[in-house]
Structure 1
Amino acid sequence: MYEFDMIVIGSGPSGRRAAVQTAKLGKSVLVIEKGRRVGGVSVHTGTIPSKTLRETVLNLSGWRERGFYGRSYRVKHDIDATDLMARLHKTLDHEVEVLEHQFSRNGVKTVRGAARFVDPHSVEVTTDAGEKSVHFAQHILIACGTRPFRPDYVPFNGVSVFDSDEIIEMKRLPRSLTVIGAGVIGVEYATIMSALDVAVTLIEPRPTFLDFIDKELIEEFVHDLRDRNVALRLGSAVTTIELRDDTTIATKLSDGRTVISDMLLFAAGRVGATDTLNLEAAGLATDHRGRIAVEPRTLQTIVPHIYAAGDVIGFPSLASTSMEQGRLAACHAFGLEPPPPPEFFPYGIYSVPEISTVGLNEEEIRKRGIPYECGIARFRETSRGHIMGLETGMMKMIFSLKTRRLLGVHIVGEGATELIHIGQAVLNLKGTIDYFIENSFNYPTLAEAYKIAGLDAWNRMTRS
């Protein structure tokens, strides 16, 4: 009756994982991708490009060695946009090659074109040449991802005013940059460009930013930004953006200030890329941001055989969780009851410095009325930190006074997104402070910070 067991719309993290899982279950699957190559936003304009750009900047600028050799130290003195793009394109080519090989060896079929529902089981694909074909499937997964929110008052031109997808195609490096939106994407690009000694102004209409991160970490992070002369304009909304010429942008704020820069990045939100899918034909609708509602555990929409996963369903919008969502959706579609998800998963913000967190932050613990104690370790206290020349960076661990269980781990500094997984494992296995007190950690490593923070908390707990 059906041409395929599963059609997947989109080949980003959730789409690719769902497709491969479907194939491994012995089912037929078709992936529809409207981009030039498979990989979706994650590979081509989002996760991989921004992280590659970050690594390139840190390497060429000599950022990691400045603790020893001073702020004027550079690996390459005259860095331009072509230096950044060379590594970026090489990395993207490799990512696409790996994904294409993965699809090939698992028998996943792909078709390039824009998808559009005809009915709840049928999807029409239109190629760039205008050719149309209709495909039928028992189950359909919507994994089309998101695109940048582009309000009318922003004069996007792809030359000096960019959205977060366009910024990776910039032809020159600016001397000054205005970033509107202090969410994860805005903070990442603001700090990456600051590491190149670009004068950055970060604008956010709310008085705070990254509110899901422990406040003590944000205070540490903000201190680091101000030490690097990143200008923070918090609690000030943008009233107008005036493009005076190709290299001068005037951003006027509600508090009366005007920010002048020669480049602007607008990174205030993303919307689901669902407007062209003709979801009404499938019996589906979206919210005002183009996102699709699903049952959290099964990823089913209100039409039971249609699933949605990844950024298009909203929070938490992480590549790591999107991959798992795609896999779980495929398993459920073919009768494998997904296990309950772990209670906690890590967040990683690839700013400079990195931020990573798992579990409850101090504000959440206070609201729950849990008696607790914290332990702090600063990276400069570790031998590995001395070897690396680290002057900043900290780990904060929170434990229950009653049960001694680990409640949360919060890290800002070099390697935070790697270090967090030790805390994640102990947290989800319901471990206690005793794990960190009784176990040895490789020496010298930054992971030794777990021991230091654990002992710090233990000393405080024995005195309370």
Structure 2
Amino acid sequence: MKVVVLGGGPGGYVCAIRAAQLGAEVTLVEQQHLGGTCLNSGCIPTKVLLHTTEIYDMLRKQSADLGLKMNDLALEWSAVQYRKDMIVSQLVDGVKTILETNQINVIMGKGRFITNNELEVITKGKQRIIVGFDKAVIATGSETIRVPIPGADLEGVLTSTEALSLENVPESICIIGGGVIGCEFASIYSSAGSKVTIVEMLPNLIANMDEEIVECLKNQFFESGIDIYTNGKVEKIERHENKLKVTVSTSSGTKNIVAEKVLISTGRKPNISQIGLENLGVEADKGSILVDKSMKTNVDNIYAIGDCTGGVLLAHVASAEGIIAAENMMGKYTPIDFKTISYCVYTKPEIASVGLNEKQALKQGYNIKVGKFPLYANGKSVIKGEVNGLVKFVIDEDTDEIIGLHIAGPNATELIAVGAMAIRLEATLDEIISTIYAHPTVSESIHEAAHAVHGNVIHMPRL
């Protein structure tokens, strides 16, 4: 079977690999960079900057407490940028090698469907290639939302891509948008020494996550000197001497924020224009391609995965959907289960969630119980000097089944896999409690939070 995959991001290249493993003859078409936004200008480079700046900030503030004497500690930003670029290059080369060893034909160029069995590709060298296929997967990802703010086109107003590659750490930066991307950049630049201000239109930062977990992050931001304006609407951006002035309407009146740089970080939208959907007859709704649980569109031989379907815009979701699409088109008929999607924010503290939070569970009609354990009572967190955190279970009271786990603290993005596995296996609270956790570890706090559901927390004074 001949399969073509349009888009080489974390959904597209994973789908191509899995289809090849199952015996398909695969062609992958990518317009810009293998690895897509995530690898080249999203997940990976931001985490490189977060890693270095977090270490720098920790040594700058806590070295004496740790028993370390630091002389002339400095952040060499150009070296950080070089390391970021080298890591991205290394991982992109790794993707190329994996594709080659799976005998996948890669064409770098812009693809457009001309029939439901042919894809036209205009290569970077302006060569026109027609790729025939039996089945196709659309994995064209998403693009930055351009918000109509007066002054958004001024010099010094950045997209997230541009914010990754600044030549110098700005003295000050105003971040418009307090979602995942905005908060991660706030962590990067605050840790690097910038004065950071966040403006968020909604009542809270990272609005889709548990409020108590996000509160741990907000507290850390306040301690770090980050100013936060929620329920704030940006009216305009103007030049102010050699800086920029952001005018914001808030419930307490108009605020003027002056900063060297302004980052507009207000989300992304599916990228499905100019790929020939009209020639396929593929149905879309509100700019997103419609698919079923097998990732198939309304056209029998056309599948779509990742951000272009308008679901959860996360790299690991796109990869999972890519595997599902490949297996279904090759006859394995595998459904996808979205209940185990983990949401991760790589700030300090890290925050992560899987399953339902309290509000979502109550809205869906569950009777719930909640168990919480603060990390100031966890030995490993105290050792690490990262006690601004919390572990929180949401439990179905009628069955004791775990329906949500939410974590703020060190390694939260790693530990959340415990919750994902528990939800996937429909585990009950007793199965968490009866598991033995190593000591001293941050993961012990998961055990304690489970005990807390029924009021039996071990390492906290009884009230």
Q: State the TM-score, normalized to the length of structure 1.
A: 0.91
Q: 1:406 to 1:184 in 2, by over 3 A?
A: same
- Count of aligned pairs: 455
Secondary structure at 2:161's aligned position in 1?
coil
CA distance in 2, matches of 1:322, 1:378: 33
Residue 201 of structure 1: how far off its partner (Å):
0.9
CA distance in 1, matches of 2:192, 2:407: 23
Q: For 1:45-84, what aligned pairs fall within 5 Å after superposition?
A: 45-62=41-58, 66=62, 69=65, 77-84=73-80
Aligned to 2:326: 330
Aligned to 2:281: 283
Q: For 1:143-182, what aligned pairs fall within 5 Å after superposition?
A: 143-153=139-149, 155=151, 160-182=156-178
Give the one of 424, 439, 458 matched to 1:443: 439
State the one-letter code of the partner of 1:354: E
Q: Is the 8 A contact 1:433 1:458 kept in 2?
A: no
State the one-letter code of the partner of 1:365: A
Q: Is the 8 A contact 1:202 1:230 kept in 2?
A: yes
Q: For 1:290-439, what aligned pairs fall within 5 Å after superposition?
A: 290-295=287-292, 297-341=293-337, 343-439=339-435
Q: 1:308 to 1:154 in 2, by over 3 A?
A: farther
Residue 418 of structure 1: how far off its partner (Å):
0.5
Q: Is the 8 A contact 1:11 1:39 kept in 2?
A: yes
Aligned to 2:244: 249
1:388-425 CA-to-partner distances (Å, cap 9, x unmatched) read 12231110112233322222111011110101111222
Aligned to 2:201: 205
Aligned to 1:16: 13
Give the one of 92, 96, 106 matched to 1:96: 92
Q: Is the 8 A contact 1:66 1:73 kept in 2?
A: no
Aligned to 1:259: 257
CA distance in 1, matches of 2:150, 2:87: 31
CA distance in 2, matches of 1:99, 1:93: 10
1:225-281 CA-to-partner distances (Å, cap 9, x unmatched) read 222221111112111111346x51111123421111001111112122222313212
State the one-letter code of the partner of 1:42: C
Residue 165 of structure 1: how far off its partner (Å):
2.0
State the one-letter code of the partner of 2:347: S
Residue 380 of structure 1: how far off its partner (Å):
2.2
Gaps of 5+ in 2: none
Q: For 1:77-156, what aligned pairs fall within 5 Å after superposition?
A: 77-153=73-149, 155=151
Q: 1:47 to 1:305 in 2, by over 3 A?
A: same
Residue 128 of structure 1: how far off its partner (Å):
2.4
Q: Is the 8 A contact 1:159 1:170 kept in 2?
A: no
State the one-letter code of the partner of 1:267: S
State the one-letter code of the partner of 1:326: G
Secondary structure at 1:365's aligned position in 2?
helix
Residue 304 of structure 1: how far off its partner (Å):
2.1
Identity of aligned residues (%): 27
CA distance in 2, matches of 1:23, 1:328: 13
Secondary structure at 1:165's aligned position in 2?
helix
CA distance in 1, matches of 2:70, 2:308: 41
Secondary structure at 1:241's aligned position in 2?
strand
Secondary structure at 1:62's aligned position in 2?
helix
Q: Please state if 1:234 is matched with 2:230.
A: yes
Q: 1:373 to 1:171 in 2, by over 3 A?
A: same
State the one-letter code of the partner of 2:57: S
Residue 448 of structure 1: how far off its partner (Å):
0.6
CA distance in 2, matches of 1:314, 1:369: 26
Q: For 1:218-229, what aligned pairs fall within 5 Å after superposition?
A: 218-229=214-225
Residue 342 of structure 1: how far off its partner (Å):
5.8
1:151-174 CA-to-partner distances (Å, cap 9, x unmatched) read 454656696221112221211111
Residue 101 of structure 1: how far off its partner (Å):
1.1
Residue 107 of structure 1: how far off its partner (Å):
0.5
1:99-128 CA-to-partner distances (Å, cap 9, x unmatched) read 111111110110111111222221111122
CA distance in 2, matches of 1:74, 1:268: 39
State the one-letter code of the partner of 1:236: G
Greater than 6 Å deviation, 4+ residue runs: 72-76
Secondary structure at 1:351's aligned position in 2?
coil
Q: Is the 8 A contact 1:202 1:232 kept in 2?
A: yes
CA distance in 2, matches of 1:75, 1:123: 60
Secondary structure at 1:6's aligned position in 2?
strand
Q: State the TM-score, normalized to the length of structure 2.
A: 0.91
Please provide the CA RMSD for this pair. Answer: 2.5
Residue 64 of structure 1: how far off its partner (Å):
9.6
Residue 338 of structure 1: how far off its partner (Å):
0.7
